[in-house]
Amino acid sequence: MTIEENKNNVYQAVKAACEKANRSSDEVNIIAVTKYVSSDIAEELVKTGIKHIAENRVDKFLDKYQALNNYDLTWHLIGTLQRRKVKDVINLVDYFHALDSVKLAEEIQKRANHTIKCFLQVNVSGEESKHGFSPEELDTVLDQIKNLDNICIVGLMTMAPIDADDQELDVIFSQTNELRKSIQEKKIKNVPCDQLSMGMSRDFDEAIQNGSTFVRIGSAFFKENGD
Ligand X SMILES: *Cc1c(COP(=O)(O)O)cnc(C)c1O
Please tell me the distance from the alpha carbon of residue 150 to that of residue 198, in angstroms, as a whole number: 24
Q: Which of residues 100-159 bind ligand X (CB under 6 A)?
A: none
Which parts of 124-163 are beta strand (E)?
151-157
Query: What minimum distance in Å lies between the beta carbon of 79 and ligand X?
Result: 5
Q: Which of 126, 73, 83 is nearest to 103 (CA)?
A: 83
Taking the least distance from each CB to ligand X, the nearer of 128 and 185 is 128
Query: What minimum distance in Å lies between the beta carbon of 189 and ligand X?
Result: 28
Residues pairing with 133 in the sheet: 122
Length of the chain (residues)? 227
- When binding is defined by CB under 6 A, the residue of 7, 53, 79, 206 that contacts ligand X is 79
Q: Is 177 in the site for ligand X (CB under 6 A)?
A: no
Please tell me the distance from the alpha carbon of residue 220 to that of residue 117, in angstroms, as a whole number: 26
- When binding is defined by CB under 6 A, the residue of 30, 78, 172, 198 that contacts ligand X is 78
Q: Is 14 in the site for ligand X (CB under 6 A)?
A: no
Taking the least distance from each CB to ligand X, the nearer of 2 and 144 is 2
Please tell me the distance from the alpha carbon of residue 11 to that of residue 148, in angstroms, as a whole number: 36
Query: What minimum distance in Å lies between the beta carbon of 205 and ligand X?
Result: 13
Q: Which of 173, 158, 227 is nearest to 9 (CA)?
A: 227
What residues make contact with ligand X under the rule CB under 6 A? 33, 35, 56, 78-79, 200-202, 216-220
